[in-house]
Amino acid sequence: MARVCRRYLVSGRVQGVFFRASTRARALELGLTGYVRNLHDGRVEVLACGDQEQVDTLRAWLWEGPPRARVDDVQCTSLEAEEFPDFDVR
């Protein structure tokens, strides 16, 4: 399967609800690399690289997030494939 990288911007109540830690755990379960970080405007940025099917699975999960989150929108941008050693919280 083709390796892809996608950048997601997740908005809603996504900071202070363990969104980054939960995203990292889910990404690692899926065998993805990249990172997740909070942005100053209240959104969360996720950069996920891996097999397209697993990246798509993470995208679907981002619409739900952890139990205390409320996701209003997930914007997606395709990027050139990058290599990351792991999936980090930044």
Q: Which residues are catalytic?
A: 20, 38
Query: For helices 52-62 and 19-29, what crossing angle results, to 10°?
Result: 150
CB 87 within 8 Å of CB 41: no
Task: Output phi, psi for 67, to 5 deg.
Answer: -55, -35
Residue 45: which residues within 8 A CB-CB, separation 6 or more?
A: 7, 8, 9, 10, 36, 37, 38, 39
